[in-house]
Structure 1
Amino acid sequence: AEAATVASKALQVAASKKGSPYRYGATGPGRFDCSGLTLYSFKKAGKKLPRTAQQQYNKTKHVSASSRKLGDLVFFHSGSNVYHVGIYAGKGKIWHSPKTGDVVRLQKIWTKSVWYGRVR
């Protein structure tokens, strides 16, 4: 239950940042880039994550799409290179900070090229 609490709390934190503007290199509390949002959300939930999406992927327990749970991290990749991360919100959607000019929002996962990681 402990892990579930952290993940669901991080998910709530990310959702509470809805509408916050994207800024490259920002880790909150007012602006975020993608890994900045996940780092901030898990920090608030009591877990420390590394700074970049790739480092976060390396640090999580990798899980299959069929065993993904709410609050797991969703890593978008091109080959072996992780370039984006969000927090799984259920029903094939993630909370994430997409890109410059955009804001933190809930969005459907748009590609099959994703890996899932559980923060432990």
Structure 2
Amino acid sequence: MIVIAVLNGTIRDFVYKKYVGELLARQISTITLILLFAAYIWFVINKYPPATSEHAIYIGVLWLVLTLVFEFGIGYMSGKTWAQMLEDYNIIKGRIWILIPIWVAVAPYIFSGC
């Protein structure tokens, strides 16, 4: 999922952000990342199905934690402040990034059919 996320962000920054602006570009890339993650998670869950609904929930929580550790770890290592890193979670300002960790957490359960 890291490779998918990095490629998605790279395409956003180098292809369409200059045409649509920062906020809309982030909104578009959030939606495209949800769709790309959906395809990837569907594939993984179908190839390696969880045995129980509890296992599917465990997978989602694990992926959620790993996603947040990666995101905030990269942000911290690149010198961003907590305020800067949390900006993407400010729905009032049109930031919808919070949908990504929510999706990563619930998608394994949804696709597992448990």
User: The TM-score by the shorter chain falls in which range?
Assistant: 0.3 to 0.5
TM-score of the pair, normalised by structure 1: 0.31
Flag the structure with higher helix content.
2
TM-score of the pair, normalised by structure 2: 0.33
Structure whose alpha-carbon radius of gyration is higher: 2
| Larger RCO: 1 or 2 (CA < 8 Å, sep 6+) | 2
Flag the structure with higher strand content.
1
